[in-house]
Amino acid sequence: MSIYNFNAHLIDGEEIKLDQYKGKVVIVVNTASKCAYTPQYKDLETLYKKYKEKGLEILGFPCNQFAEQDPADNDEIKRFCQINFGVTFPLFEKIDVRGVNAHPIFKHLTEVSPFQGINEDTASSRMLYAYLKENFPDYLLGDSIKWNFTKFLIDRSGKVVRRFEPSFEPMDMEADIELLL
């Protein structure tokens, strides 16, 4: 099974089959508009513009599960992303990414790409780990999504190559992306 087996609704409501991304390198990311990691939209857009013609797609899935950091409706989220970060990559309807109501694509992604821990080499990583440990210790258990801006890099055959936890900056994914293009 790959991401190609799933459907999702674009932020405007249109249902699409993810098999339209066959043969592309894809980043699937859960997003939020009021998170400390929200500026990652800018770097995701930079990567998208730089590599789209070479076959990169970025699929953004807004989520409000983490400290209610994306409370707006889909129209407001779309406007926010376009106005503040110039986002042109596809955004999807707001969904759950963990728990019993998690969208099937995120259930699949977390099954095939288990949580490997939060690398505490950076201040951002240490802060995220400390915040989760103090406020949401159960989030650190299992393979579920831990926070906003968890990124999954998927090769041209639909296989997850690597999972990047939220504090991993998008531009630091560039070498991994280039290897797959």
User: Active-site positions?
Assistant: 35
Both tokens assigned to 136? 């949401």
Tokens representing residue 159 in the block: 């296989």
104-139 exposure pattern, b = at least 16 Cβ within 10 A, e = fewer: ebbbbbbebbebeebeeeeebbeebbeebeeeeeeb
Do residues 72 and 31 lie in contact, with contact meaning Cβ atoms separated by under 8 Å?
no
Beta-ladder partners of 106: none
Q: Is 181 helix (H, G, I), strand (E, B) or coil?
A: coil
3-class secondary structure, 150: coil
